[in-house]
Each structure stands twice: as C-alpha cells, then as structure tokens.
Structure 1
Amino acid sequence: MAIRIKELNKSAEKYPKLGLDEPVFTSSAFRLALAAEYKLQALDLELSFANQTLIVPIFLKNSRFGLGTNTLIIGAGFDKTGELNLSNDAYSDFISQLLKELPDLDLKAKQLELRTTKQLPFTIDRSDKVELIVDLSKTCEQRLKDFSKSTRRNIRQTLQQGYTFKFGNDLEVLNDFYLLYLKQMHEVGSLPHSRTFFENLHKHCKNSISLCVGYFADTPVVAAFGFLSQEELYGAWMGLDPAYKKDNVFLSMLWSIIEHCEQIGKARYNLGRSSVGSSAYEFKRRLADYTHPIHYYQLALPQAKTARSAVYSSASWLIRNSPPFVMNTLSRHLIHKFY
C-alpha cells in the first residue's frame, strides 16, 4: 500500500468523551487543539510497515508567508503526540522507511523533527530533557520514610500552616490553575499557552484531565494540570504564586498528588519533562525513582526527483513574475529559447 495522508478537520472530526483506556495525546481533540495553538496542521499518515498498517500522528509546520521550507513533526509539544507502539529496533526501521516514502506526498518539506523516547542509532540527539517518574509500587508510607528528615519536615509544615489541596476537573478549578500558570510562566520568562487552548482541552478531554490546586484559606497558590491514563498520571503543566514559594507549597503539592495517585490505583506518576541539571530537574529528582530520556532529532528529508531542469524552472518563474508589457516584448522572445 502506498503512503497516504489525511488532514484532521475540526468541523469534520467527532469528539467522543475520552475514557482512561484511550490515549489523550494522540486523540484528534488534543492534536487539533495543539495544532491551533502552535499554528500547525494535524495530519494522519497511513502506511504499511512490517505486515501491518500504521496510522502515524504527525504535524506539518508551514513556512511563514509560503517562503522557505515546510517541516514535518512527530511529537509536537510532547513526545506522546507521536507515540507508536514499536520497539527501539522496529522504530528505527520504521523511520528509515518513512524517510523513503515521504517524498511521494509532495508536502514541500525538507526536514522531519522527531521528539520520542525511542533511540535512533548513529543519529545526533539534540535534546537534554528527561521525564522523571515516580514508581507507585512503593507505598507512600515507605516513600516518606526514605525521604530526608528536612523533606518530611517541609511537607508537614506546609500542611500544618493551613494549606489544603483540591483535586477535580471542573471549570472553577481550571480557572484557578490558569491564573497560577500565568504567574509561573511570567516568573520563568516563558510564553504561556492561551486560555482558549486550555478551554478546548477541558471541553473535549475533560474525562482525561486531573487538576490539583493548593489553597491558603481561599486563595489559590499552587496548581498542576495532568492527564490520566489507565496506568499513569502525567504532569503536563504547573502554576505557582511566587509569593508562597518559601512555604514549600510546590513540594507539598507534588506529595499530595503522589498520595492521590496511590489512592486511585495508578502505577506511575510522571512528573513531566525537565532539562538535566536544571533546578526543576534537581527538585523533581528528590521525588522520582527513575528517568526516561526524551530524544530530539532533526532529519533531512530526501527530495522527490523532478523532470524539470533548473533552467526550465527559472524560466517558468520569470514568466509567472514578469509584468505583461515585458512578456509581450523582448523577454518572451528570449525565454522561448529555453524551451
């Protein structure tokens, strides 16, 4: 079967309420929301590989104003948006086949960006990010005992000072999260996602969303936005009011989420991505049991062969872009010499 492409269309796609057995990151609803936020096109590629038909979630980034070259992306925003159930060896073979077949689609793309947990041999990895995982096979009681004395004290002091944590996925909790998320992005000097992006996720992926907000009295001070699957809670975004940082509210919130994951029977709490050596990485490493590297590759796409010569293409461009009065005189006579 030849490689085929389908563009996800917002008006044509149906948005079923996602259950925990359905991966949210590769769902049409999530990918369309992400595509709108990043100004991408969400596509499905269908091709045959190893005696099976694969549907590959992919994004196309068009060059600005139609100038320059387009870029194909597998794993836009999160590696999980391009997740495929393949082993490392099979994934490498799949990418090799994909690179050979992509030119047939004439997408005018010259580069494929990959963000994945799979490792490609003999390929430059341009990422320093890892996912940090809390393994919930260890009970919270055991984990608390393994913490240093100062970590246990910091968690308890926050709770004793009157901080409380609320879990849910309603609009009120989402609004509290977003206000704190904006403060956090401003504090670290990063551009935030729009409110519309989070509202779209809430509208179409509500059953997969897990929000946690910490309050001091009735004031929201710290928050986390995560996605639930059958086995895991994935921490996607955080928010914090810098005025309350000194009270260790972030640490206490993460501990409350770990306890919550144990209560609802999750096998893992994924603390999300951080750059190795960063302050966020060092902080999360105190809680995490192990890490997963997130690889980032930039691969050149082979270009489709064309029967046109360079001279023919140049002449065609000149014809298309010359004023009529020029074309009606000497230029037309000269250009015909190239045909």
Structure 2
Amino acid sequence: MATFDTISERAREKPVISVLPPLTSFYLDEFGIYRSLEKFHRDLYDPDYLFEQDVILDTDDRHPDYPRIDCTADPFTPALDEVVEWDNREHHDRIRQDLLRQSNLKDYILDTVTTEDFVALVIVDGLSYESVRSLDLDVQPVIVDGITTTEPGFRRVIYGGDKMSVYAALTDKEFYNVYGFTYWERGQEDLSTDLHSAMGKNVYRINDFDQVLTQLKDDQPLHEKTFVQITRMGFDQDSHNRKEEPNHDAIRDSLAADLKEFADVAADIADDFRIFVTADHGILWRNHLPDDPPVVCDDWRDHARFVEGDEDVAHGMVERDAGETATGLAYPYLTRELKNTEWGVHGGFSYHESVVPLIEISNTGDIA
C-alpha cells in the first residue's frame, strides 16, 4: 500500500509496477509512465533509445524484475490544484481523457439504462465532488468540460453534444411517461424551457423536494416506463448574497436525506430502477482560496471567477458553449475581491468548481 511519495521513492531506484488511479500523471510528472510492459521493453532494448526519466509501469501485469506496489493515493483532493495548471489547455485535455466528461453524461446514461422501468436524473445546482465523496453512496468524479456556470452546465448534462435531450433519447427505450420538476418557472427563463423540451405539460414547479415525492406517490401505480428529471437546489443559492456563512454539512445532509427518500419511493414504483445524480458545476468556497487571492483585472467585473466573452485576461482560458463565450480563470485567481456576502464562487477552473459528482442509486445497490 503506497502513496505517491512512496511510489516516487521506489521508482527512483528501479522501475516499479503500480496500477495508478486517474490523474496520477499530474502528481508523478517527473516520471515516464508506461501503460504496458511490451512498450517499455521495446524502448528498453532499443540501443538508440535514451530514457530521460525514471519509469513507472501503470499496468496490471507482473514481472520478476520489477516490484509491484499497490497505490492507495487519492488524486481527487484539493491538492489537485497544486499540480494542475488550470489555464493550460493541454492539462485540461489530459484530465478530460482520464475522467468521464460532463458532456458525455447523456450517452453514459443511455448506455447504462437497460432493463430499468423507472429512471431519474437529478441535477443539483452547485455541488462539488468533494462535498459528497464521504457519503456512503456510489460516487464517481466527473469533469466539467467547459465553463463552470449554470446554463452551459445544465445544457451539457441534458443535451450532451447534440440537440436531443436525455428524455427524447430515452423514448427510443420506450420511456413514454415523463415528469419534470424544477424550481424555475417554465417560460419565464429560456433555460427552464430548454431543459424540459418535449415534456409537454408534465413539468411541475416545486419549492421543496417533498413535492416530488408526494406527486409520484399520488400517481402510483405507474403503468409505463417512467423518466423523471429533477432540478434541485444545491450549494449555489447559499454561496452568495448571504450575510452569514452557510452550513455546508446541513446542506449536504439534506441532499442525502432527499435521495434516500427518493430511492424508497422509486423502489415502491418499480422493482428495477436507477437514479442518476449530478451537478451543473461545483463551488469554490472562500476558505478554499489563499488568504489574499490574486486579482488580475484592474476594473470592476460582475463575476469574480470569469468574464463574459473572449478576453485576454491573465491566467484565463476561453471556453465556447452553445454559441456563448466566456473566459474562466485558473485557481486561485479572481477578477476582483470577493464581496462580504460571497462565501463561494464559480465560473473558473479548479478542483472544487470543475470536478462534480455522478451518484448512482439502483435497486441492486445500497444507500445509507
């Protein structure tokens, strides 16, 4: 059992074999990482090949000449901000190759759904992977492959890279019964209308998650395959315009309790169900920043972590989503100082903003 430091020490002595978790190359960037023994041996026995780095073999193979080390290090911690250059496009490409991308979530859902009769997608407005990783749930990290703001995040989840929504695609799997639950007024915001396209009149405005459970309970039994899409408040609403610091644990525990109740209702509706939970973006909290975070803009900006449009800003990277362009800042840079009522921000690129969760709950799994 070994940390990144232990693996580094051993690999400086001789090549080692270790099955490495995603993103490990950022922590071990001083080493040459091979994915197969065959490729390593090809270079090793090539008289013209010159090794410029010590070697780690990221493979499940075994070989008597190379010690095997079990890696226990976790790459998904705030330490990721210390090894990733978030304004470096090549670093973003590497992360997106290693992780499930937000824009591929729709395809992931479609590929995962097979025999289920009840499927739900819960999109939380502002939720970092870091906030829920300790819960007793099936959670995997997802990289937001774009600007970390609300509208593009929701659209990436629901539409992926095309014009067909998750629900529209699921009709090919005979999910004809549909519910949409949202705290946005339909028709009042273009985003809300886009997110519930093709759902007709089956979209409900909610103020509380209990309204979802009540509606589904009242409508039982459901005689057709059913898809439920829910927009739920997350950390976003508590991150700004508040005089007092929000209670992070209470918000997280409330979400966990809602998911537990939702799973119980789903189990009553169908023997075979699956619930997917993700977020549009994460939140970079004030206490995740250094004491005096650097400000890169001379004039006042509306948003602390990004500017609208394609702008030449120090430590910024331009992203284009669905015809919209924004320049997000790398961690830990700000466009301006934080307001006293800003406890958290988003729109830039960092571990807390850019890595969101995908939680899966099904009849075959457990939820605490």
Structure (1/2) with the larger helix percentage:
1
Question: Whose radius of gyration is greater, 1 or 2?
Answer: 1
TM-score (norm 2): 0.28
TM-score, normalised with respect to structure 1: 0.29
